[in-house]
Amino acid sequence: MGELYLESRLELLRSSQNPDGGWGYFRGKQSWLEPTAYAMLALHGTPDSEASLDRAWKLIRSWQLPNGSFRPGGEVQDGTWVTAQAVTLACVRGLYDPNVTRSVDWMLRVVGAEHSVAMRTASYFHLLKTKLDVSHQGWPWRDGNASWIEPTVHTLVALKKVAQHYPSAELQHRVREGEAMILTRRCSDGGWNCGNPNVLNFDLPSYPETTGLALIGLQGRSPAELAGPLATARRFLAETKSSLAKAWLTIALRFHGENPASAPEDAKVSGDVMLAALQTLGHPAGNYRLLQTGGRA
């Protein structure tokens, strides 16, 4: 069961690796860390993949900057949120060397800019145009910007996975803070959007894909605490047409003990490398467990 669905996507991934070892968002395009990371997770442990995964890892390693962060692609010079994905990959590969330590240090140093003293003061005086709880520390897409759900989730996954090899009170603290940040950013309709539930006193709607991601970041929280969000995620999975959202929601629900229905065997493969990788990961026979953190750090 599941061979056609899984094989067609794995084949796309195998055939679209770039000569430099990475994957683009689409076949034949520049290599980026994000699709490369998902492709590597999807192919991990599959027959005859070892050499291609080693080449991919070598490329990713070449994108690490002296401050520990990783560039999102070969053309871009600055380190970003993808640092978390590189650390997750390192954990999956069983690497816990000083390079990983530098990345962890970088992640622990980076804090969403809305947590600054100025912003917290503005929040105290109700001067912000958003109803935002700025008391918790999440992670931004780029250092110096505000924190958002998706980069916070990826960083939480990385920190929880690396935690036992990096015992640190600061790490524990940031994981608790990151989870609290996600919980306070929940939209009034039950799920999550990018991370801004209200602007100018108008509630904003949640999105299915970010709701799935938020639940991945909240692995290990009690089922009772997440009953509402899980119900929202189930509803989104039943209703959404977005393949990306379905992929994230499926992975998230698996982490919370559920077994969502598999996609039809003949579901068409698009040319979207990242999507194919996430669909492969979320399949019952896929590698979704590689993103599992087993709970809190």
Partner 1 sequence: MNRRKFLILGGAAVVGTYAGTKLQKPPKLPDGPAGNSGVAIIRARSYSDDLVARMLEGIRECGLDVRGKRVLLKPNLVEFDSSTVINTDASVIAAAVEVFERLGAAEVKIGEGPGHRRDTLDLADDARYRATVPKFERIFTDLNRDDVSPIRNFAGESRFYFPNTVLAADLIVSLAKMKTHHWAGATLSMKNFFGIVPGSVYGWPKNKLHYLGISESIVALNRAFRNTFAIVDGVVGMEGNGPIQGTPKPAGVLVMGRDLVAVDATCCRVMGIDPEKLTYLRQAADLGHVRAERIEQRGETVAAVRTNFALIDEYKDLRLG
Nearer to partner 1, 49 or 232 (CB): 232
Six-digit token string for 225: 């605490």
Nearer to partner 1, 95 or 194 (CB): 194
Q: Work out how close the CB of 225 gets to partner 1 at its nearest, in angstroms, rounded to a whole number.
A: 26
Nearer to partner 1, 25 or 96 (CB): 25
Q: Work out how close the CB of 208 gets to partner 1 at its nearest, in angstroms, rounded to a whole number.
A: 9
Q: Work out how close the CB of 142 gets to partner 1 at its nearest, in angstroms, rounded to a whole number.
A: 6
Binding site for partner 1 (CB under 8 A): 24-26, 29-30, 32, 34, 72-73, 75-77, 80-81, 113, 121-122, 124-125, 127, 129, 140-142, 144-146, 148, 150-151, 193-194, 199-200, 202, 204-205, 207, 209, 241-245, 270, 272, 274
Nearer to partner 1, 133 or 272 (CB): 272
Nearer to partner 1, 127 or 169 (CB): 127
Q: Work out how close the CB of 244 gets to partner 1 at its nearest, in angstroms, rounded to a whole number.
A: 4
Q: Work out how close the CB of 222 gets to partner 1 at its nearest, in angstroms, rounded to a whole number.
A: 29
